[in-house]
Amino acid sequence: MIATLVLTLAMQTPGLAVGDEVAPFEPYWVSGPYTDTRQCPVCEYGIMPLVIVWSQLKSPDKLKPILAGINETVGQAPNGRQKAFLVDLNETAGDEKSRKELKALAEAWKLPKVFFMSRVFSTKAVQKDYKLQPYSDWETIVYVAKNRLVTAKFVNPNPGDLKQIQEAIRATTK
Please write the tens of the pLDDT for every residue from 135-162: 889 999 999 999 999 999 999 999 999 9
Q: Tell me the pTM.
A: 0.91
**How big is the CA angle at 29 (ends 81 and 121), to the nearest 5 degrees?**
115
Q: Which residues pair with 145 in a beta bridge?
A: 50, 150
CA 102/CA 139 separation, integer angstroms: 16
Domain contains 149: yes
Q: Count the neighbouring beta carbons within 10 Å of the beta carbon of residue 52.
A: 22
Element (H, E) at 155: strand 149-155
Tally the domains of the chain: 1
Domain contains 56: yes
Residue 113's domain comprises: 15-171
Phi-psi region of 92 (alpha: psi -120 to 50; beta: other; left: phi over 0): alpha
Tens digits of residue pLDDT in 16-45: 999 999 999 999 999 999 999 999 999 999
Length of the chain: 174
